[in-house]
Structure formats: structure tokens, C-alpha cells
Chain A
Amino acid sequence: MTGPNWRGIGAIYRFEMSRFFRTLLQSFVSPVISTSLYFVVFGAAIGSRIEQVEGVSYGAFIVPGLVMLTVMTQSITNASFGIYFPKFIGTIYELLSAPVNFLEIVLGYVGAAATKALFIGTVIMVTASMFVEMQVMHPFAMVAFLMLTCVSFALFGFIIGIWAENFEQLQLVPLLIVTPLVFLGGSFYSISMLPPAWQTVTMFNPVVYLISGFRWSFYGVADVPIGLSLLAIGLFLGLCMAAVWWIFRSGWRLRP
């Protein structure tokens, strides 16, 4: 065998996707319901008081943030569970004794987790378009941002799955770190609506750059320059890649 083990990548990817297809209805219905709820609560209740944010109706303004919130948590959850479960039940022995390198393992797991998140993100956008008038000014940038976010957060989730030694730890990071960062990252408001002191604090939240960039691809309005957003996500992706590379090189939590 020479070159990459494509069949190995495909086997992992298909295996991970098969779990998704087994629960397809659930994977499809729950984002539809939760998105609808967000629109009823935020769009109708708050939106009736806040007419517009930066020239965009409030209902439409929150769509990119909502998509990002779901896509990030889905990517993390799917990827972390995907690698944690075989570690937990012991089937990971097969992966570790197979002729696959770390990049191939990552492509399989992260690719599948990102695909699922991408699917759910699309479902949310379609659902949202039934509630509000939406436009996408920069469709290519939108798709690129969405995919980059899915991939980098799936990678981040993959690391969490390898790090976690029990189910509590597995849920800890998404719950205690990611969700607050996303909520405070301007999903449902513009950073310019905050008092100046908080605006400064917020700039240390990496999620701000992603949501801002993603929203820019829809409405052309951004809290931070688009170049900075791209840089932020590129940096995050690079850091996660480096971490995964180090994990497989050192055998950390995988090979005693």
C-alpha cells in the first residue's frame, strides 16, 4: 500500500455517518423545533421592541448567530463523542493497530462531525428563512465561513474527546466554556450595543470574530474587520491541528 489510506478514511467516515443516519429524523427535527422556538421567543418577543440592528431587522440579524451557535456545539459534540466512545468501550484498539496515520483518523472523524454540523446548519437556515426575510450578500464567504467553523470546532471537539476521561468531562467543555462564549459573542446582539468597557472585554472572546465574519457574509455589517475574522478562525484551526498532531505523536491519552 502506498499513499494515503483512502479506504481507511472512508471506513471511519461511513461508520460515523451511519450513526447519524440511524437517528436522521431526530437530527432533523430537533434543530427545526429549537430554531422555531428561538424565533418565537427572540424574534417575536424581543424583536417587537428592537426594530433594527445596524439596519437589519432583528429577526434576520440573529440568524447567523443562531446558525453559529448550533454549528459550533454540534461539531464539538459529534466529534468529541465520536472518538470518546471507542476509547470508552475499548474498540479504539482497532484504530490504533491499523495502518492509518493521524491525519487519516482526523479526516474520518472530523469530516463526519463537520458534515453533520453542516447539515444541521443548513436545516436551520432553511427553517429561519420561513420566519424572516433573509439575504446572503456574499454566498461564497458564507459557505467558506460555515465550513471553516464546522471543521475547526469538530477538530476542537476531537481533542476534547481524547482528553476526556469520563462523561462529565466530555460535557463540561461545551457546557461551561463554549455555550457562554457563543452567547456572549454577539449571537443575539451587536457588540456596539454594549457599554465600552464590555466591548473591550468581548474582544478577547474568539467567537466574536467568527460570528461577526459570518454575519458580514449575510448583511455586509460586521463588528470587527472581516480580515481579522478570517485570521482568527485560521489561527484557531492551526492551533487545533498542532494539538492533534502532538497528541498522536506523543500518544497522549491514546497509547500508554
Chain B
Amino acid sequence: MSAIVKVDRLEKTYADGFQALSSVSLDIAHGEVLALLGPNGAGKTTLISTICGLVQPTGGSVHVDGHDIAADYRQARALIGLVPQEITLEPFDKVISSVRFSRGLFGKPRDEAHIERTLRQLSLWDKRNSRIKELSGGMKRRVLIAKALAHEPRILFLDEPTAGVDVELRRGMWDTVAGLKADGVTIILTTHYIEEAEAIADRVGVINKGRILLVEDKDKLMARMGRKQLRIELHEPLTALPEGLSGHDLELVDDGAALVYTYDTAGPRTGITRLLSDLAAAGIVLRDIQTSQSSLEDIFVGLVQEEDAA
């Protein structure tokens, strides 16, 4: 994996003494979509803001395509586009002049063709001469993206791009991300919606209390941590688990009306066959059976709870 962003033992302690990032190390690969998943206050915005130059780190380093963000900030920042979490725009500005301003600020020569392409891609071309205060929330968010893309960055940071956005707009945003990825842009987005990470990310990083708990391929993560559950509805409710079944990872639920068996999909064998024969031997009659697979959500909640308990 060739990393375009290398974060090495990054630390941030705010002026009030609060440590928002503790030794965060993270490599972001060329062209990938990385979702940073974490509850509110985990340090997602702090991490992004530090990489983009809005927050001063108190330790560690960040390199963007080999450029140190402090020493070579010009080269580093020229490669980055940032879409902040809050919608912050000049209300009286026109859409197109706001996007042109962003391009100029990053030192790029005028390129009306690029600006038109960007605005069309984000369905803003018809609104190019509208004042920003006249736009809906979803459009404003897209203006922020257009501004971030105005200087043709190779890396795009999206801080909670779909927070408080309805389902339809969220899907639109996912399509936008997919389109940008196809153009070769590396995308880092933060979210606390698991389904979002599941839908668009190549890799998922879980962050809590300023620490990265894990970073892994989304599919591998699902496979490694993915546990399946077998739910067995019983004909007659049980008051306790019979002796002969104590060797299985079983739980009695719904006042004894059902059994839940948890097993690892990645294990050598599931143990289902033996469980079923042991059930028959114990004289238990089954009414129904269903399986369910844990989602990223379960994985995430599990990780964060482990961390909180520690």
C-alpha cells in the first residue's frame, strides 16, 4: 500500500488541558475511501482539522504525499480539500464566485471549464448565480464540496457529510463520493452512521476517546469480527439449560421460549450439526430456526464498550 497521508503518533492537547488525540498513527492509501467511525467527541474533527492545518498538533507528525504539514505546508495543503462539519459560507456570496474564490486562494489559475464541471457534477450549475443564503441545506453542503474541489485536490476530507441529512440526500452524497473515487480522489470521511461506512468505505477506522482502535479493510473486518447467530424457537419453554447442552455457547432468551447460539463464521467448523444432535438427545423439540449476521454496528458498539470498560 502506498500511503498518500501518513499520520505518525499525532497528539493534540487543547489549551484547557483536554487531550483530544493520543498517539494517533494512520496511513491513508492512494485512491481509497476511508471512513473514520466514532461517537461524538471521539476526536474525528480534531484529527481532520490537524491534518488540514486548522489545529496545531502538540506532538507527532503528518506527511501528505511526503510533505510535512508544518514545514512544507504549501505543498501539503495544495493537495488537500476540506469540507468542514458545520456549514460555513458567506451568505451574500454567489455560488460561482465563492467557488472561484476558493480556487484563487489555493493559487490556481482561473479555469472556468473545471468550475463548470465541478458545479455540474454536484448539480449546482443551475444555481451558480444564486446567492448562498437562498439555497437549501443540502445544496449548501454541496457548495462546500464544490469549494473544496475547486483547486483539484488529490485528497478530500469530508467531516460528517451526511449528519442531519435525509435518506435521499444521503444516498446522493454516497453517489458523489463514488464518483470522486472513480476520478482518483482519495477520500477520508468521518461519520457516526455505521451504514454509511458500510455502504461506501474501502477501509474503516474506529476512533474513540482520541485513540484509533483499529483500521481494517471493511470486508475483512466484517469477516474477522463477523459473528453469526442462530436463533432457535422452542416448542415448549425451558426454565434452565439442560445439562447435556452446557458445552455450547448458548443463551436462553424470551423467558425460555428461544435459544440463541453464537458462532464464528471464520472458525473451522460452526458446531451446528453437533448442537442439533445434542438438542435432539436432550429431547428438545424445535419450532423454528433463523440465522443473523452481525453488522459493522455490532462490531463498533462492541469495540467501544470494550474500550470504555478498560
Chain A residues engaging chain B, CB cutoff 8 angstroms: 1, 5-8, 10-12, 14-15, 18, 86, 89-91, 93-101, 251, 255-256
Contacts and interface: CB of A to CB of B under 8 A. Distances in A.
Interface string B91-132: 100000100111111111100000000000000000000000
Contact of A91 (B89, B100, B104, B107): B89
Contacts, number: 77
Given A97-B54, A255-B56, A256-B56, A12 B88 contact: no
Given A1-B78, A99-B73, A99-B74, A94 B105 contact: yes
B53 A96 contact: yes
30 contacts: A1-B74, A1-B78, A1-B107, A5-B74, A7-B104, A7-B107, A7-B108, A10-B104, A11-B101, A11-B103, A18-B97, A86-B90, A89-B88, A89-B90, A89-B91, A91-B90, A93-B54, A94-B82, A94-B102, A94-B147, A96-B53, A96-B54, A97-B82, A98-B77, A98-B106, A99-B75, A100-B105, A255-B56, A256-B14, A256-B56
A90 B82 CA distance: 13
Given A7-B104, A97-B80, 17 more contacts: A5-B74, A8-B105, A8-B107, A15-B101, A89-B89, A89-B90, A90-B84, A91-B88, A91-B89, A91-B90, A93-B82, A96-B53, A97-B77, A99-B73, A99-B75, A255-B55, A256-B56
A80 to B, nearest CB: 17
B54 A11 contact: no
Contacts of A15: 101
B1 interface: no
A91 B101 CA distance: 12
Nearest to B110: A7
B80 A90 contact: no
Contact of A11 (B55, B56, B89, B105): B105
A187 B234 CA distance: 97
Contacts of A8: 104-107
Contacts of B101: 11, 14-15
Contacts of B82: 93-94, 97
Contact of A99 (B78, B91, B97, B109): B78
A11 B77 CA distance: 17
B109 A7 contact: yes
Given A1-B78, A90-B84, A91-B89, A256 B55 contact: yes
Contacts of B108: 7
B298 interface: no
Contacts of B74: 1, 5, 99, 101
A3 to B, nearest CB: 10
Contacts of B106: 8, 98-99
A86 B15 CA distance: 22
Contacts of A18: 97
B55 A98 contact: no
B195 interface: no
B98 to A, nearest CB: 9
Contacts of B104: 7-8, 10-11, 14
A94 B90 CA distance: 12
Contact of A255 (B54, B80, B100, B107): B54
A173 B101 CA distance: 31
A98 to B, nearest CB: 5
Nearest to A251: B56
A5 B104 CA distance: 9
A89 B86 CA distance: 10
Interface string B42-84: 0000000000111110000000000000000111011010101
Most chain B beta-carbon contacts within 10 A, residue among A8, A10, A94, A96? A94
A96 B80 CA distance: 12
Nearest to B54: A96
B49 to A, nearest CB: 8
Interface string B1-17: 00000000000001100
A7 B106 CA distance: 8
B186 to A, nearest CB: 16
Contacts of A95: 105
A15 to B, nearest CB: 6
Most chain A beta-carbon contacts within 10 A, residue among B14, B15, B101, B106? B106
Contacts of B97: 18
Contacts of A6: 107
A239 to B, nearest CB: 25
A7 B15 CA distance: 34
Most chain A beta-carbon contacts within 10 A, residue among B74, B84, B109? B74
Contacts of A98: 77, 105-106
Contacts of B54: 93, 96-97, 255
Contacts of A90: 84, 86, 88
Nearest to B20: A256
